[in-house]
Every structure is written in C-alpha cells, then in structure tokens.
Amino acid sequence: MTTASKKPRIGIIGTGAIGGFYGVMLARAGFDVHFLLRSEFEAVAQNGLRVESAVHGELLLNPVQAYASAADMPPCDWLLVGAKSTANVELAPLIAEAAAPDAKVLVLQNGLAVEDRLRAALPDSLHVLGGLCFICVHRLAPGVVAHQAFGAVNMGYHSGPTANADARQAIVEEGAALFKAAGIDSQAMPDLQQARWQKLVWNVPYNGLSVLLQASTSALMTDSYSRELIMDLMNEVVAGAEACGHSMPEGYAAKLFATTEQMPDYWPSMYHDFREKRPLELDAIYSRPLAAALDAGRDMPKIRALFQTLAFIDFHNI
C-alpha cells in the first residue's frame, strides 16, 4: 500500500450499500480508504467488507481500516457520505472530525437540497459536492453488499470556500477522476441542481411506488396501469424541473423508462428502508422537489398524491 500515500486519503461516512461498494472499489484501486461504521463495526473489523457483484464478481476487502468513532480517523482529503439523507444533521459533526482542513465532502444521496443542512453545520473551509449514483446495490448482511448493475457517479459542486467557477470545476473533475481510477464511470456535471432533478426522474416513481405497491421494478414494468403511472410521474418531474429552470435532455424520461425495462429486477432503496422500518427519504425525494416546483408556479399533483400516501405510510411504519 505504499502508492496509496501519494493518493488522496478517502473517508467513507456511512458504510451501507453505497458507501460499502464505492469504498471497496476505491480501496482495491489502491486508494487509502477509511471506513466509519456504527452497528456493523464489529462484523466489518472481524470479517472485512464483501461486495457480491454481478458485474465484478466477489470482491473482498480484508482487513478494513474500520472505525467506530470519527475521532479515531486520520484527516481525510475526500469524504464520501453514503448514509441516508434523513441522518444528515447528525452526520455533520462526524464529517467535520474526519476532514482534513480543505477536504471535499461528496454527498452520495438522492433528492434535492440534501447538502443544505450538512453545509450549514460544516466548517466553511470544506468543499461540499453532490453525487448521483446510477447503481443497483443493496445491503445483504452486516458488511455484505449485493451489487446488481451499473455504478456510475455523476457529481457537481455545491458550495465551499472557492467561488471561482474554474476552480470549482477542477475540484469536481478531481473527484470524478478518483472514481474513474477505480474503474467507475463518473462525470463532472456543470450544474448540480440540474443533475439532481435528472436523477429524480427515476427516483420519484420507482422509490415511492416500490413502497406503496410493495412491488419491484419488474412487477411495476409489467402492469399497464403502473407503467402509465410511472410515465405520468416522470413527465411531472420533467415539467417541474423545467419550471425550475432545469431542462432535461430530449427524451430523457422515455430513455430511463426503457433502461429500467432492461434492468435486472430491482427493489429501490426506499423499499429496503420501509422493510427495515427506517425513516423514508421523503423530504429529499418528494417534499423538496414539490416545494421547489410550486415556488416556480408548477404543481405536480400525482407526485403530491404519491407523497401524501407515503407520508402516511412512513408515519405508521416507525
């Protein structure tokens, strides 16, 4: 691991499916990766991290540089936040503790405005970036992640000490280069909010309907009524994004729809949250987009109805 010391040091905050997968991939590419864990610390310290990937085969990282406390971590240049957005307020102090003075914090979460509360609670010297993961992963057991398909991470600059657009873009490209060095497709996006809206075109229909209808993607893509509803919801996201000044690429919804049809059967992350009685990421994926679109004069009635039913379910699920 002598080469690792010349590369940026990476900290993984929240080693669930997302943090686990990307952390293992980066560590295998020779980066010096440190993992902060909570409930799974013992299992990972003992048995390492395992990714059962349909793409890359079985990947085992053992030993793992695992920590139960952020105070024990060395200062990291990059911090990847893979925890649920519902925990962001609690995460901020841990991130600050593990961060080098000018560290870059990459928030690998879905939805809108997930960086805002983190940002407010982090030192001004830290750069905050947002990352969108196009990936099918889920946690199988403590320290074990199933990777079904894809893996790309698109990222954009959110906020930080640099106001200069070129300097911001250089930081985003540095981040994308880390992932590319680990064999992961990654793009530096010029506009983070636009990228977040684009990701919502998938998340809004599939995450919510997987919970509401207790159905995975292949069931949702088989029934003619759910297909129609998915397309309607996607079109509402596209219209909402456009009202907010973020136009989507031509035919984007139809392309995502077709891609999902070709995907292996998949249970979106919100379904796993529901099953394990964790709070659902309704604020990031529904409330914030609904509020943003409404502020721009555009209601998204079917998305609102979906949100209202999910909020009822979430309340009764805890």
* Site residues (vs its own copies, CB under 8 A): 209, 212-213, 215, 219-220, 223, 225-226, 228-229, 232-233, 301-302, 304-309, 311-313, 315-316
Report, in Å, the least distance between residue 217 CB and its own copies.
13
Report, in Å, the least distance between residue 114 CB and its own copies.
21
Distance CA 162, CA 240 (A): 30
Nearer to its own copies, 191 or 223 (CB): 223
Distance CA 276, CA 273 (A): 5
Single-letter residue type at 174: E
> In the annotation, is 84 catalytic?
no
Nearer to its own copies, 99 or 238 (CB): 238
Q: Which of 6, 104, 180, 199 is catalytic?
A: 199
DSSP designation for 112: S
Report, in Å, the least distance between residue 280 CB and its own copies.
12
Nearer to its own copies, 167 or 305 (CB): 305
Which of 35, 82, 93, 85 has its CA nearest to residue 63?
A: 35
Nearer to its own copies, 247 or 308 (CB): 308
Q: Which residues pair with 58 in a beta bridge?
A: 52
Evaluate whether 314 touches 282 at the Cβ level (below 8 Å). Answer: yes
Cis bond leading into 93, ω under 30°? no
Q: Where are the alpha helices (DSSP H) in 5-87?
A: 17-28, 41-47
Distance CA 242, CA 131 (A): 21
Report, in Å, the least distance between residue 124 CB and its own copies.
37
Residues annotated as catalytic are 199
